[in-house]
Amino acid sequence: YSSLVSVFEVGEMMSDFKWRHYQGSIILGCVRWYCKYGISYRELEEMMLERGLEVDHTTIYRWIQHYAPEMEKRMRWYYKPQMGYSWQVDETYVKVRGKWTYLYRAIDKYGNTIDFYLSSTRSKKAAKRFLTKALKSIKPWAHPETINTDKAPTFGPAIDELKEEGKCQKNTVHRQVKYLNNAIEADHGKLKRLINPVRGFKSMKTAYATIKGFELMHMFRKGQMDVWKNGQGLIGEIRLIERQFNIYSA
């Protein structure tokens, strides 16, 4: 990793890394590691020190808050599925300031992440807001044929309202069969392995910013972006992310 310090970067955008004391590749590398491996800020500080880089854990925290959501935003085009098929929609719990909040998530039948949304409440309004976000992010012709949820009473009315408003296809079938959601519940568990070491977030804003990075790297781990890595494995992952910030490593 130390070789990244001396790598020649062409066209790195000043607006992305202006006033930072480290090269963009170093910063993005730290963000990738934190969001991918479920480690703490202090552990990542020690890892960087072993590689001859003194980076305070509070600095790494600021990098995560700034660059993790930006990475997810710039990579959105790559991970959005081209076809809707059937969706599995569910929510899992995330602790923020000592209280449980709700992370709404949707995957397709192949396990690909469709979208996610963090809410302080579990209600029809929150379910509708999440589904609106997910449906709006893809083309109408790619909307799902079926949406499977658990028995929660919030999703049914939300889907009905979206149909009435023309935001969801009229012929979309809403199923409430718990065992059909086994895949997304298993996917929750894998994501929570990254979230749990945080031991609680301080605010909804910081929680959502960090979770965007976790979700993105979880998609990489699931192979959702393999087609864009040109068969280069981990190097392809690094280069794909760096290209979004106009970094072109030698």
Write out the DSSP string of 37-61: HT--HHHHHHHHHHTT----HHHHH
Residue 7 confidence (pLDDT): 39
The rounded percent of the chain whose pLDDT value lies above 90 is 76
Q: Is the dihedral of CA 122, 126, 127, 131 positive or negative?
A: negative
Q: Specify whether the CB–CB gap between 90 and 149 falls below 8 A.
A: yes
CA distance 182 to 196: 21
- pTM summary value: 0.89
Q: Is a pLDDT exceeding 70 seen at residue 75?
A: yes
Q: Specify whether the CB–CB gap between 143 and 121 falls below 8 A.
A: no
Residue 138 confidence (pLDDT): 87
Helix ranges, the chain (H): 14-17, 24-37, 41-50, 57-79, 124-136, 155-164, 182-195, 204-222, 233-243
pLDDT band, residue 61 (cuts 50/70/90): very high
pLDDT digits (tens, 9 = 90+) for 199-232: 789 999 999 999 999 999 999 999 999 999 989 9
Under DSSP, the state recorded for 193 is H
